[in-house]
Amino acid sequence: MDMTIPIQIHGSNVLREVATEVDPKNRKEVDLFIEQLIETLKVTKTGVGIAAPQVGTSLRVFLIWENRGGDTRPDIFINPVITQFKGSKKTDYEGCLSVPGVYARVERFQKVKVQYLDGDWNPQEKLFKNFEARIIQHEFDHLEGKEFFDHLSPVEFDKIKRQLDELEKGNIPELEYEYKLE
């Protein structure tokens, strides 16, 4: 049984909404949804994270899978809150499953402290560094209705604007995963 969910592409309204907090009373449904998110992330082959809004669901849930080759399951973040941004910032390239084929250099903090519920619904508070911190900030942005290019200067944004316009028109590069245009 295919459990994947089509990924929303830039231009979809849900990508610009602030996601709704998960109600623990809905644990059974949320656990099933998380399994669908995991399967969806797996078929992307290259994705290192995915947030619920990227599959059209306005919930405060995301997954990160920094080491896809070694980890059997991604780390699950339910109702995450970034409590601290720490250390210096670093600029590096980012892309996004919802913005296929578009990459830009984004400045992010190198450390973040996060409070969240894990996949077993246990409270956690952890400090994440480097690439994990970057992925978390990127996925957390999705929960806040932001996309990675919102962090770009006007000059840097202009460099990718044409590509974003093409995505909004439905001109999507060939992908290994199923997507949905609104």
Catalytic residue set? 139
Distance (Å, whole) CA 104 – CA 148: 8
The separation between CA 144 and the C-alpha centre of its own chain, rounded to angstroms, equals: 11
Residue 127 φ/ψ, nearest 5 degrees: -100, 130
Q: How many residues comprise the chain?
A: 182
Q: How far apart are CA 139 and CA 65, in angstroms?
A: 11
SS3 of 128-153: EEHHHHHHHHHHHHHHCCCCHHHHCC
Which among 99, 115, 114 is positioned nearest to 12, based on CA atoms?
99
